Amino acid sequence: MLVKIDTKERFHAITLPGPSISATMTEELAECLLPYLQNDVKNVVLILKDIENIDNAAAEKIATIQQKFYETGASFVICRLQKSVEDFLDQHELLEMMNVTPTESEAWDIVQMEEIERELLDGEDETPVP
């Protein structure tokens, strides 16, 4: 899968090529995204602006991948959904499970806020030394 990757200081912005994501692409999608969890910069902003159609297996795989990111303390934000994809995800009750924003800028803001939140929570776990 040829993707466009734009690496920033705190995240990787990954644009998937269109026009569709099907069940046959789910393993390739996982192979493309999950290795980012091994990087120093683990956060991903997934840009779906060119995706017009998605099937249920692919949508569920993206939701599963997103969950793996959050389980390992990394952010995974999806942005720029086409109306048809957003409607599909909503109909299959997946949209409410996903971290979705309308714009890349908002996705970047969420990643930065979640980074700050993780840093603050990590700081609370430390026991103060008298």
Kindly report, residue by residue over 50-98, the tens digit of the pLDDT.
Answer: 999 999 999 999 999 999 999 999 999 999 999 999 999 999 999 999 9
Could you list the residue range(s) of the whole structural domain that residue 87 is in?
4-125
Tell me whether residue 130 is in a domain.
no
Tell me whether residue 113 is in a domain.
yes
Percent of the chain scored above 70 by pLDDT? 95
Q: Which residue type, as a one-letter code, is found at position 109?
A: D
Tell me whether residue 28 is in a domain.
yes
- The number of distinct structural domains making up the chain is 1
Partners of 53 in beta bridges: 20
- In angstroms, the Cα distances linking 81 to 22, 25, 28, 116, 123 are 16, 18, 20, 26, 35
DSSP 13: E
What pTM, to 2 d.p., does this model score? 0.90
Tell me whether residue 121 is in a domain.
yes
Task: Write the burial class of residue 42 (CB in 10 Å: 0-12 exposed, 13-18 middle, 19+ buried).
Answer: middle
Residue 125 pLDDT > 70: no
39 within 8 A of 74, measured Cβ to Cβ = no
User: Domain of 84: which CATH number?
Assistant: 3.30.750.24
